[in-house]
Amino acid sequence: MRLKTRLTEQLGISHPILSAPMAFAGGGALAAAVTAAGGFGLIGGGYGDPAWLEEQFAAAGDQRVGCGFITWSLRKSPSLLTQALAHRPAAVMLSFGDPRPFVDEIRAAGAQLICQCQNLDHVEDAVDVGADVIVAQGAEAGGHGQSRAVLTLVPEVSDLLAARRSKALLVAAGGIADGRGLAAALMLGADGALVGTRFWASREALVKEGHRQAILETDGDGTIRTTVADIARQVAWPRGFTARIRRNAFTQRWHNREEALAANVAVEGPRYRQAFADGDPEQTGVWFGEAAGLIHDIPSAGELVERVAGEAAALLARRAPELTAA
């Protein structure tokens, strides 16, 4: 049994599942595995490293994949978009900033434009530029985001798109880790789901073993929205965005002591970066979301695509008759 939505038809995929372009974790092998299993994989362009980007497109081989960028960071190095488009990605996803400076180049390359949005103003911008796909990201998601929750954001965006007579497809993101989440997203009005944390906990993700083990030991209460990881890394994110990471010794020491961390960043910054490189689960940012509480294994990405899609299809087929019985 397969789920057929506007997303599967428009992207030519078997399952309405996209892998999030997670910075540092969402490489070419993960994106390729998701696509090979019938979803659609996105390489995480992150803050921009030309050599790394080349390595990841090479790792994706001949699979049809896309690429995602942190939009405000891309404005500092717009040549990265040109570099990525040379690989003929099927889609480019822009998140956390005005997409307008990049729309024409993406269109000219024949790629579909995906805009990730955290509030209704972002959605209006995406509609104005004619985005092909709009991702409504809830605060449950790992990594950077804002404050809206999936349960209310997705249907509100669906209503907005209908009112604007937009043809953009709608994808839900944040906290979706199994078939229940995908089925719920579809019932909220989405055409599919963008999945991050669940693919972060897959064999193909570029994640240190210590961090993989940490997600298996963490429940949904074990994450926090904070700015301390950005302060330690000295990455100046725009006001209003925070990051969801694992609660650990690092967050316990510095959350609500941001000024002290900034004052000591010359010492704490290198410690943070070394701990991240070592896969230390306690002394650095471990980048996953509330879906951690639903994750109990580290399978292949392809297995996850089939599992999530199969669970959702079976759940929708079974529950509808149960709930509507006379």
| Angstrom distances, CA of residue 171 to CA of 115, 194, 225 | 10, 6, 22
Q: Is the pLDDT of residue 324 over 90?
A: no
Which CATH code of 2.40.10.120, 3.40.50.1820, 3.20.20.70, 3.40.1350.10 fits the domain covering 6-206+298-324? 3.20.20.70
pLDDT at residue 281 in the model: 98
Q: Give dist(CA 234, CA 50) in Å, integer.
A: 20
H/E stretch holding 163 reads helix 150-163
pLDDT digits (tens, 9 = 90+) for 260-288: 999 999 999 999 999 999 999 999 999 99
Over residues 230-254, the mean pLDDT reads: 97
Two structure tokens written together for 318: 């079974």
Beta bridge partners of 285: none
Instruction: Tally Cβ neighbours within 10 Å of residue 286.
Output: 31
Q: What mean pLDDT value characterizes the chain?
A: 96
Residue 242 is classified by DSSP as E
1 or 77, which is more confident: 77
Q: Give dist(CA 172, CA 153) in Å, integer.
A: 9
Residue 291 is classified by DSSP as G
H/E stretch holding 326 reads none
CB–CB of 197/286 below 8 Å? no
pLDDT at residue 301 in the model: 98
Q: What single-letter amino acid sits at 173?
A: A
User: What's the CA dihedral at 123, 129, 130, 132 to 10 degrees?
Assistant: -70
pLDDT at residue 133 in the model: 98
pLDDT at residue 54 in the model: 96
Q: Is the pLDDT of residue 43 over 70?
A: yes
Two structure tokens written together for 52: 């790394």
Domain residues of the chain, as ranges? Answer: 6-206+298-324, 209-290
Beta bridge partners of 143: 244
Q: Give dist(CA 255, CA 25) in Å, integer.
A: 24
User: What's the CA dihedral at 226, 227, 228, 230 to 10 degrees?
Assistant: 140
Q: Is the pLDDT of residue 308 over 90?
A: yes
| Angstrom distances, CA of residue 154 to CA of 48, 185, 291 | 29, 8, 17
Over residues 156-180, the mean pLDDT reads: 97
**Buried b vs exposed e over 76-89: b needs ≥16 C-beta within 10 Å?**
eeeebbebbbebeb
H/E stretch holding 58 reads helix 50-60
26 φ/ψ angles, rounded to the nearest 5 degrees: -90, 80
